[in-house]
Structure 1
């Protein structure tokens, strides 16, 4: 029973590290996972051991800024080959979140991806991959992918979003 609980915590930590795409402290992980620091520490140990024992392209490492999920060194060359030069991994993950969740409010996107999403949105709008429209109450903006996204990434369609599509002004 304890093993199943710890496995779920480790999986939750893995999801958080993937989605945030930046080093996170134990305190931040505990906050996002809604559990105590001791459980996070145990979950991190299990997750790091799991990654250490599998033949995976990813690893969980501790940096001076916290723990992160990253690509192992032997696979770093793929980043240069597969990631567009103009987009970093963080911006690509933000774009993926918009594509999968969109249209999504910029506020919800920042909650999902962190404050770096503000810069990512500016960059993605300037590159034409997303469009941004003010909400009718003016408090936030909706963001969603454009036709350029579909053409560039050779995607025909995405799963149906849970929020109605943004109307053109």
Structure 2
């Protein structure tokens, strides 16, 4: 079997992003071969305009659907996250760090349950600030969505670039709400 095929199969089957060392240890390939295969796969998918891409975030690789193709998935697959939870996540991501008390004023009391779900999924972290908590996204958030960086600027740009897809998948709701706009 060709090295590139083995690496592609590993990425396809993985349920979480893989580091080069993970692929090396599980396939028996040497590091140089894995790195070359990853580079070749990324270029191949990009060259042919595939709906699939190989994203890299935090030194880990993941096979995923290109963001501009995600609007088609709702017809064929159930979302992994309910729409309300996704709206809460996008509000946190876009405005981070955000106080949970302000988030609740914007999203309503359901935000408490949404934050609990998002923390359990490892997508949001919280730190105590007085009688509330300050919420931010985690590196896992950037990895899961293929953003490439967990910086506020990179996440904000990704959300803005994909706002049309997000609104369409969400039934037309507007962009993430800003908890700081609460009166």
TM-score tier after normalising by the smaller chain length? 0.3 to 0.5
TM-score, normalised to structure 1's length? 0.44
TM-score, normalised to structure 2's length? 0.41
Q: Which has the higher contact order (CA 8 A, sep 6+)?
A: 2
